[in-house]
Amino acid sequence: MSKTTQTSETKDTSPAVATRRSRTVLVSFLGAVVRKMGNWMPIAGTVELLTQAGLDASSVRTAVFRLKKRGWLESETRSGVRGYALTPAALEALAAGDEVIWHARQPADLGDGWCLVNFSVPESARAKRHQLTAHLTSLGFGNIGSAVWVAPARMLPSAQRAIAELDLTQQCAVFVGDYVAGQDLAAMVRGGWDLDGIDRRYRAFLAEYGAEADRLATAAFVDGQHAFVTYLSVVDHWRKLPFRDPGLPPQVLTEGWNGPAAVHLFERMVTALEGRALAHAAAYWSAQPRPAEATDTTG
């Protein structure tokens, strides 16, 4: 039994948790596999592949149905096989995350300065205020004061887009400039971001996959299903990490920061597994669905 399989079996298996995990793994599957297969997936083959990855069939079908309602998937039959195609909205959303997920944020140059966002959103628009806070957090901004958020200067265009999308331009002030005096910069950064938490997640990634990467480097043969399951696990685990990392200048990071080592490990794992994983998945695109799997209950 693989390490990945053992881990999945020890997790909370309640229906709500299973459905949530299926949704996140399915999104990883769409980005890392389905797009490389022509932006279409057979429902029966998808269910079988994701059950190999430790999910249960019913939660996979529920996740597919919810992504269809969200506008990410649309029904499409190819060669008599029922399946789903990725919509333009899904492709746009997946592409937007690629630069962060597949090309993790490189440390910013301290000399480029900082982007500062200050906003004053009335209580009547509290929902939008929370949305803006969530957007800024996901972009890697840190909170250094009441309604004051900061990130490396390169995040200016992303911040402007987030503000405009929420129609909050008139409630926000955005600046770009250097930090010149006052509170110690490194101390301010530690207060604005949970660097210990980010680094802890990087360490967990290294601990989870370091030994497997070494094993793959010397393995004479790698089973296709093992490659697929491990590849999907790696991508699903990794894709959440760079969004938390603002890509801060090295001068303000803690000693022994594990980000670069984690990026290197991710790249090693993808290089070792991607080709074999996609070859394994491709068989489920060309094969006719099995009778027991032919009924699509997701609508």
Rg value, the chain, Cα: 21
Q: May I ask the CATH architecture of the domain 114-177?
A: 2-Layer Sandwich (3.30)
Residue 197: alpha-carbon gap to chain centroid:
17
Could you tell me the pLDDT band of residue 149, with boundaries at 50, 70 and 90?
Answer: very high
| pLDDT at res. 294 | 39
Cα–Cα distance, 90 to 95 (Å, whole number): 8
Cα–Cα distance, 99 to 84 (Å, whole number): 25
Instruction: Determine how many CB atoms are found less than 10 A away from the CB of residue 214.
Output: 11
Give me the residue spans of the domains in the chain.
3-93+286-293, 114-177, 194-283
For the stretch 87-145, pLDDT in tens is 999 999 898 888 778 766 678 899 999 999 999 888 777 888 899 899 888 888 999 88
Cα–Cα distance, 86 to 92 (Å, whole number): 10
For the stretch 194-210, pLDDT in tens is 899 999 999 999 999 99
| pLDDT at res. 18 | 60
| pLDDT at res. 293 | 40
H helix runs in 13-145, sequence order? 15-32, 43-52, 57-69, 88-101, 126-139
Residue scoring higher pLDDT (84 or 294): 84
Q: Which of 63-67, 72-76, 178-182 has the lowest mean pLDDT?
A: 178-182
The kind and range of the H/E element at 156 are helix 156-165
Residue scoring higher pLDDT (215 or 146): 215
CATH number of the domain located at residue range(s) 3-93+286-293 in this protein: 1.10.10.10
Average pLDDT, the chain: 86
Q: What percent of the chain has pLDDT over 90?
A: 56
| 19: amino acid identity, one letter | T
Q: Which of 23-27, 79-83, 187-191, 218-222 has the lowest mean pLDDT?
A: 187-191
Instruction: Work out the burial of residue 228: count CB atoms within 10 Å of its CB; fewer than 13 is exposed, 13-18 middle, 19 or more buried.
Output: buried
Residue scoring higher pLDDT (79 or 230): 230
| pLDDT at res. 147 | 87
CA atoms within 13 A on the CB side of 187: 4
Residue 218: alpha-carbon gap to chain centroid:
29
